[in-house]
Amino acid sequence: MNKPYNILLYYCYTPIADPEAFREEHHLLCLELNLLGRIIVSKEGLNGTVSGSAEDCATYMATMKADPRFAKIDFKVDASDIHAFAKLHVRTKAEIVHSGMLHIDPNQRTGQHLSPQEFKAMKDREDVVVLDVRSDYEYSVGRFKNAVTLDIGNFREFPEKVNELKEKYKDKKILTYCTGGIKCEKASAFLLEQGFENVYQLHGGIIKYGMEAGGEDFEGKCYVFDNRVAVDVNKVNPQVISECYVCGTKSDRMVNCANPVCNLHVPICEACGWGMDGACSPACKEHPEKRPYNGTGYYQKEMNGYNPLKGFNRPKKADVQV
């Protein structure tokens, strides 16, 4: 049976002359199509994750590709039983993914794109290093077998780690990967700028690799930025690599601590989830503000009077002459 909703993951590095004007127009388009999710607009392009009915998502993709600026967008499409978001946010920012590397334009120079099948064929060669450019909380729940990971809590810390990579891997072929491909665009370009000569990137990221190459040798789950939190990608040789924060048993069940003051985002197995009443520690279990635990470890953010038109500057009515 076909699932009624789609979840779209996409980005496009392309010049947008007036990001604020485009944001207004794009916000309206999403409202008209009943889409929910998060979209970032900047002078360098567009980055989004949205959900909606299959029909509305198809219309959205066709509308975007009809615009010459976004004709090259590669949409990663996943089916869903429900919306993956509760709200719609369309915002303007300096970058479509926060890196601090404002001088880099992936349209000018970036690592060579590899299809999932090409990545699969290269990743185990002796002259290759597979580099995860994501943050620690992302790769802790899932990563490629034998991948090099970086001790970073945010992508903007990536440039600080390049000297460490130079010492070990400068003469190797570097295959970068991330969730959907967007971080690799700037990470691979920065590596080239810093003197690495053979730099590649997994086109479409982990998500596309799962869809087109079966996800082989991706161990654990892929962290995603919607209500699903983490998704399966490996249909060939899956395994769990993350451990329960409380007892240390293998678990990829990502939860938020029931204590909102803590809100630690870690794997906690189902048994410990119930045993700790959703908390990550005895102190959090006894905290006076602890939220009721419903077995999921996911707590929907308060809507706080959410209005889908918030942030959308509707035209003012003309003054009425008396």
pLDDT of amino acid 316: 46
Q: pLDDT by residue (tens digit) across 186-231?
A: 999 999 999 999 999 999 999 999 999 999 999 999 999 888 889 9
pLDDT of amino acid 300: 72
Q: At what angle do helices 162-169 and 182-193 cross, to 10 degrees?
A: 70
Catalytic positions, written as ranges: 178
Continuous H helices in 179-275: 182-193, 205-213, 270-275
Q: How many CB atoms lie within 10 A of CB 272?
A: 21
Residue 311 has pLDDT above 90, yes or no: no
Q: What is the mean pLDDT of residues 102-112?
A: 95
Cβ–Cβ under 8 Å, residues 244 and 264: no
Cβ–Cβ under 8 Å, residues 55 and 31: no
pLDDT of amino acid 303: 58
pLDDT of amino acid 229: 87
Helix (H) or strand (E) holding 69: none
Q: What is the CA radius of gyration of the chain?
A: 21
Tokens matching residue 189: 């370009």
pLDDT of amino acid 309: 72
Q: pLDDT by residue (tens digit) across 220-279?
A: 999 998 888 899 999 999 999 999 999 999 999 999 999 999 999 899 999 999 999 999
pLDDT confidence band for 308 (50 / 70 / 90): confident
pLDDT confidence band for 54 (50 / 70 / 90): very high
Q: pLDDT by residue (tens digit) across 136-159?
A: 989 999 999 999 999 999 999 999
Cβ–Cβ under 8 Å, residues 183 and 133: yes
pLDDT of amino acid 319: 42
The more confident residue out of 92 and 316 is 92
Cβ–Cβ under 8 Å, residues 43 and 15: yes
Domains of the chain (ranges, CATH numbers): 5-92 (3.30.70.100), 112-220 (3.40.250.10), 242-297 (no CATH)
Residue 322 has pLDDT above 50, yes or no: no
Q: Could you tell me which residues come within 8 angstroms of residue 8 by beta carbon, excluding any fewer than 6 positions away? A: 37, 48, 49, 50, 51, 52, 57, 60, 61, 75, 76, 77
Whole-number average pLDDT of the chain? 92
